[in-house]
Structure 1
Amino acid sequence: MKRLMFFLGLAALLLSCSEQPRGILSEQKMANIIYDVTLASNCMMTRGYMPHNDSLKKKNFEYVLQKYHVSPAEFDSSAVWYSQHTVKYEHVYTLVITKFQVLQKDLNAEKFKDKEVVRTKIDTINLWSMPRDFHIKPSKVPLLKNQSRNKIPFRIEGSQLNLGDKLLMTFLLNVSSADKATKQRMWIKVHYFPDKTDSLVSYIKNDGKWRKYSLIFPLSSTQKVKYVEGAILDCTLAKGKQHADVDSIRFVHISYPTPKIIPKKIVKHKPWYWPF
């Protein structure tokens, strides 16, 4: 009987030693806290913060404890208890190592790579806010609101544009043979951040014939646009008579569902006669 009582007491003692006391964090919660604190510390170092920056370390540690609703005293007492129970401690660090292995696998698979916004349809948005027609006549009468001296400039802010958009401008133009402006042309210039530019220019004939012009200009898919400037009608010198008509101006930017490789160009269509 005494021997039986001895073995029962020994079993109870061993059982009590193996049980985790109340108030001690579970192995999984300890592993989660150690993992998050270690990850935060490594992120600090990759961002250039010195490893001995104690104030940042303390803030990271406090944030992680708040995340898991654990007080510093609870964590400290749990850390002491686990340090005295090496088998349990090994279990915790096995869980931590497993979590880092999973993270490495996800990083290798680019699981956290930013996903591009997929457009499901072609979006066409108007950019032209000025009049759609201009009439430049050889007259001494003061110019009307939609008239110009052989110069029709425009400017579009980059905030209206997306990466990889295509700019499309079309208009009808007739420059009279009596027009004396020199080197008449249309042009467009895109200004990218920080200081890159891209441009396109086409010279215009003054033969009194209507022509349709189509400007196609794909934007960079990697650099943001500061602004776009240009002129439907421009010239080097505008002395003497100026006589030109511009009609049906259309200027849009097009966003495609998938990237398209489109060359920039200005197309001059064959001359034709406007049926007034």
Structure 2
Amino acid sequence: MIHPRSLAAWALLVVLAGPVRAQDTTDVAFRVQMPDSVVVTASRVASTVQQTGRRVTVYTQRDIQSLSVNTIDQLLNVAAGVDVQSRGGFGVQSDLRMRGSTFNGVLLLLDGARINDPMTGHFLMDLPVPLSEIARIEVLRGPATALYGPDALGGVVHLITKTALRSGQMVDTGLAAQIDGRYGENDLYDAGGAVRHVGTTTAVSAATALQSSDGQVIRMGGQPVTYRDGDPVRTDFRRRVGTAALARNLGGATLYARVGALSTRNGGSTTRCYLVRAGGGRRPRL
């Protein structure tokens, strides 16, 4: 027979041992080292998130692929604090707002180059680069005018393409291609394709995207709204985009070049955008 005092002693020992084991498990969890991201938007110098002291969100290529988005504007809509003001589908003639700023208070960078229209500041999402070319997105929230000028009052969105991200020795060499398409009501279609070849020192890529829809007729008081020529006003849109890029490793430096063209139509308004960029120099390994 177990003495009552012995039973009480065993019960007290079990109660005291429980928290000790829980504390050990917690200590093990806290000792796990999570890999950090390298952020360049917040300081213009490659640094970790903890060192920037800024509110920064980084979307890697794996994050982008895991989200159910088809365009860059849809991806930015997912990012908390980024408001996409759309005038048409797939980012046609869309603006960005952040932290209460207006459309001209958000700076958009593509591989480090400014994309904002210097004349109007409008239509930031009229990018001559499709989503299939984007490898990384960094969103800096809050004023950054000291680094980037007055058009970064609300924040900065930095888009980094797969070709520009290459630096140093090329990895994952070979040829890759993809084609996708979707079709819906009101003659809505979305088609795109991309091809990419990576050698030991050179990466070449090309991509295109086509989106269009007849939209719906706008009605007022049950009657269709028409233009002066009698044609009905519709919520139609069209978007055509194509781009090609080259990156070459030159030992301690990288040569980079990209060209692109975009044509969008939203109702009776048409916008065209062209991109030509070339540069080189020493780049940090991202």
Normalising by structure 1, we get a TM-score of 0.23
In terms of fraction of residues, the more strand-rich structure is 2
Report which of the two structures shows the higher radius of gyration computed on alpha carbons. Answer: 1
**Greater RCO (CA < 8 Å, at least 6 residues apart):** 1
In terms of fraction of residues, the more helix-rich structure is 1
